[in-house]
Amino acid sequence: MTPQNKLSDYIKTLESYIPQHEFTNPKVSESTVGWQIDHSLKVINNVCLAMQSSDPNTYKKNITLVGRFLLTLGKFPRGKAKAPKHVRPPEVIEKADLINQVANAKKNIETINSLPQNAYFKHPMFGHINKKRVTRFLEIHTKHHLKIISDMTNK
């Protein structure tokens, strides 16, 4: 399975939870299933857009030790990081908005392969993440939130 296929499958799984977007399980998370979906999609879409508009000539090989470790480990610890403002969901999460974000995410991940090798986005804790590592980052991040959703819904 190619990385884009795995990420594509994760997006489809996020999409399958949209009917449960208002569901909460305070034993697992203070947020709703919709919050988890919205945040995951915002990250995918914002990362892809940032990479598309990045200047590969300004890429710096400055990925942090923490970033390298977590990308190698393949998972993020729960409850240790706070989502930056631009990828936080709104107070009210609309089903139609989630559906629209899913469509955008499906299109956006298709652009990754055509980007220059040093297209990148700047992660607040990991440093610059270029094309080589971006799909892995998005897979791990999305899988992290899918696990939270699964635990919330007991699936």
Total of domains in the chain: 1
DSSP 8-state class, residue 126: T
Q: What are phi and psi of 62, to 5 degrees?
A: -125, 25
* Segment 38-53, tens digit of pLDDT: 999 999 999 999 999 9
Distance between CA atoms of residues 20 and 22, nearest Å: 6
Question: Which pTM value belongs to this model?
Answer: 0.94
CATH code for position 61: 1.20.120.450
User: Distance (Å, rounded) from C-alpha 35 to C-alpha 41?
Assistant: 10
Residue 80's pLDDT band (cuts 50, 70, 90): confident
* 8 A C-beta contact, residue 3 and residue 64: no
In the prediction, which pLDDT does 79 show? 84
- Domain assignment of residue 52, given as a range: 3-153
For residue 86, pLDDT beyond 90: no
Q: pLDDT tens digit string along 116-150? A: 999 999 999 999 999 999 999 999 999 999 999 99
